[in-house]
Amino acid sequence: MTCTLLPKLWIDIAVDKGAWVETLPDYQAIIERAINETVAVAAEFEGEAEWEISVLLTDNDAVQILNRDWRGKDKPTNVLSFPASGGDQPIDAPQMLGDIAMAYETVICEAQDMDKSVSDHFCHLVVHGMLHLLGFDHICDEQADEMEPLEIEILDGLGMPSPYPDRA
């Protein structure tokens, strides 16, 4: 029997702009469940690590600026992930895993366009962003072949359907 010790997760959530609170009053619980399930399925931590994750809930304008400045794409997107660079951090402090930023208007429009609940789409994007912080990507087919099945497994554990109907 193997026992996996999950790290202690410190999740800092900031609501900057957008009607997040009104639309998703349980946003904090959704984020915590999605991140914990992602770590339980996809992360390989040793010992009793402590990790810090920052989540910014904002609007299209703010995400567009981040996307332009950090990725060279001058348009809003649903979720951005910024893995920590691993620089010098105090030994006794939680290690920064990275930041996730989400654009309110894009998330809402996508959910409506896909005929999904805002809550389910939001949860999927938190999982997706968290997987990026853990080093997963989908730039090429080989990477997507690794990342997308993990998303499906994690979302299934959260009681949600696959966002990739061709992979279900």
Q: Which domains does the chain show, CATH number per domain?
A: 8-157 (3.40.390.30)
159-162 long-range contacts (CB < 8 A, ≥24 apart) are: 160/120, 160/123, 160/124, 161/120
**DSSP string spanning 5-45?**
-PPEEEEEEEE-SSSHHHH-TTHHHHHHHHHHHHHHHH---
Angle between helices 60-71 and 104-113 (to 10 degrees): 100
pTM over 0.75: yes
| pLDDT tens by residue, the chain, 168 residues | 334 445 688 899 999 998 999 999 999 999 999 999 999 888 876 556 788 899 999 999 999 999 999 999 999 999 999 998 766 666 666 788 899 999 999 999 999 999 999 999 999 999 999 999 998 988 887 887 888 999 999 999 999 988 887 765
